[in-house]
A and B are shown apart, each in its own frame.
Chain A
Amino acid sequence: NAGVMQNPRHLVRRRGQEARLRCSPMKGHSHVYWYRQLPEEGLKFMVYLQKENIIDESGMPKERFSAEFPKEGPSILRIQQVVRGDSAAYFCASSPSGGYQETQYFGPGTRLLVL
């Protein structure tokens, strides 16, 4: 009964490089959410996806950030041309269906460090 999987757990990038963060939801879950946690802060919503669809991306920066959840394979959060301010923990969560009533189960997070 595997939980939400995220990889890598730690990622180091130099300024200007690309970061790709992967998230495999729990079995049977078709809804994925990405959150960002800056140091000493709470989680901030970034994007909500269903298979092949972006439902809500209102929390995601307009530039350099993109997310996808293809029909097959994990959800990917992509950050192009990373800057030091992108250093944070990125958490993925999943739920069986969308909706405000659903409990979101979180993965262990990816800690991104930009040098």
Chain B
Amino acid sequence: AQKVTQAQTEISVVEKEDVTLDCVYETRDTTYYLFWYKQPPSGELVFLIRRNSFDEQNEISGRYSWNFQKSTSSFNFTITASQVVDSAVYFCALSGYTNAGKSTFGDGTTLTVKP
């Protein structure tokens, strides 16, 4: 069975603050992929990143960075110098080897960035 937990239901920050969104996962698979998606108020789902279970290097893309720690089964997402346009619901997802095609999503974290 796969499970993704995003313990933070809602986060509110002021523009330019840094914010970290937590994601903890459970899987019996030794081979799996982790994903982050953004769902802005308009409702569509935007793919942000994919990371495989063998690659624990942190990744940075502009103001976004991801910290994958296999030892704690976490894949956290940090936004540096947040902007109002970052306001959205962010979902972490897991796809394990034995559940091909069947991604498991967390319940999402609603991020509000105030001007």
Contact = CB atoms under 8 A, between A and B. Distances in A.
Contact of B91 (A42, A45, A58, A89): A42
Nearest to B110: A40
Contacts of A43: 45, 91, 93, 103, 105
A104 interface: yes
Interface residues of A, number: 30
Contacts, number: 71
Given A41-B107, A42-B4, A108-B44, 11 more contacts: A42-B106, A43-B91, A43-B93, A58-B102, A91-B45, A95-B101, A100-B29, A100-B100, A105-B47, A106-B37, A106-B45
Interface of B: 4, 6, 29, 31-33, 35, 37, 43-45, 47, 50, 52, 91, 93, 95-108
A103 B35 contact: yes
B106 to A, nearest CB: 6
Nearest to B97: A100
Interface of A: 31, 33, 35, 41-45, 48, 55-56, 58-59, 89, 91, 93, 95, 98-109, 111
